């Protein structure tokens, strides 16, 4: 997908593949609920801006929650595997509204090296990884940086389908998301 920033997955190879994104209807990440155990992140529930949600792993232990405000984006994201390298150990991020969030295994931050994530435009439209009863591996899906953004209240095709927005840009635009009530964001890739 040409509009997706490089995906960083952290953790091991256990569990089965899992993913959840707003690609079909232009939704972006709205809320994260995280449950952590002593040696790994056990469960993550992801809610998108359209209200759809999905849970990976099983609830339990310490609970952390973060709700994104309209238009709020990631400015940084760091992921850690657990100390054994076979599960997600934790993550932290900062947003465009200068808010911070972190969720780690309850025994503290892992002692293994962290992975800095390329957050692209900062707009997260989903997650992927591996899970079973716990989070075996996890990563976030981001759009690449935007060359320009146009706001429109008109109906347009949903990204990633090209939409030529006459009079506003000369190359394909893509609908990214509903970021606020009544307006849509068009992503201009900067390519002709």
- Residue-range domain boundaries for the chain: 10-142, 148-188
Alpha-carbon distance of 99 to 106, in angstroms, equals 22
pTM of the full structure:
0.79
Mean pLDDT of the chain: 82
CB of 8 closer than 8 Å to CB of 93: no
SS3 18: strand
Within 8 A by CB and 6+ apart from 140, the residues are 7, 8, 29, 74, 77, 117, 119, 124, 126, 127
- Mean pLDDT for 61-79 is 95
Residue 155 corresponds to which tokens in the numbers above? Answer: 């109906």
Give the least confident one: 57-66, 89-98, 166-175.
166-175
- Measure the CA–CA gap between 72 and 119, rounded to whole angstroms: 13
Please report the pLDDT score of residue 46 as a whole number: 98
Q: pLDDT at residue 7 above 60? A: yes
In sequence order, the β-bridge partners of residue 29 are 48
- Among 17, 32, 13, which residue's Cα sits nearest to residue 92? 32
CATH class of the domain comprising 10-142: mainly beta
Residue 130 confidence class, pLDDT cut points 50, 70, 90: very high
Calculate the CA 27 to chain-centre distance.
Answer: 11
Question: What pLDDT, on the 0 to 100 scale, is given for residue 147?
Answer: 62
Between these two residues, 43 and 151, which has the higher pLDDT value?
Answer: 43
- Considering 21-35, 81-95, 158-172, 177-191, the range whose residues carry the highest mean pLDDT is 81-95
Nearest-CA neighbor of 108 among 89, 87, 94?
Answer: 89
pLDDT tier for residue 154 given thresholds of 50, 70 and 90: very low
Burial of 49 (0-12, 13-18, 19+ CB in 10 A): buried
Sheet containing 135-142: order of strands: 10-11, 135-142, 124-131, 16-21
pLDDT for the residue 148: 55
The residue whose two tokens read 């091991």 is 12
Number of helices (H) and strands (E), helices first, in the chain? 0, 15
């Amino acid at each position: 997908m040409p509009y997706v920033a490089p995906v960083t997955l952290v953790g091991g190879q256990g569990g089965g593949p899992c993913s959840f994104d707003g690609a079909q209807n232009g939704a972006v990440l709205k809320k994260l609920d995280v449950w952590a155990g002593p040696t790994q992140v056990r469960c993550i529930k992801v809610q998108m801006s359209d209200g759809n949600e999905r849970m990976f792993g099983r609830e339990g232990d310490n609970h952390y929650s973060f709700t994104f405000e309209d238009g709020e984006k990631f400015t940084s994201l760091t992921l850690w595997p657990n100390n054994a390298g076979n599960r997600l150990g934790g993550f932290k991020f900062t947003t465009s509204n200068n808010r911070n969030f972190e969720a780690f295994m309850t025994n503290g931050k892992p002692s293994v090296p962290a992975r800095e994530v390329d957050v692209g435009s900062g707009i997260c439209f989903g997650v992927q990884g591996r899970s079973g009863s716990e989070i075996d591996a996890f990563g976030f899906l981001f759009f690449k940086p935007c060359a320009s953004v146009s706001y429109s209240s008109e109906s347009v095709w949903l990204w990633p389908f090209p939409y030529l927005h006459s009079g506003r840009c000369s190359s394909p635009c893509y609908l990214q998301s509903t970021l606020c009530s009544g307006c849509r964001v068009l992503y201009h890739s900067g390519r002709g």
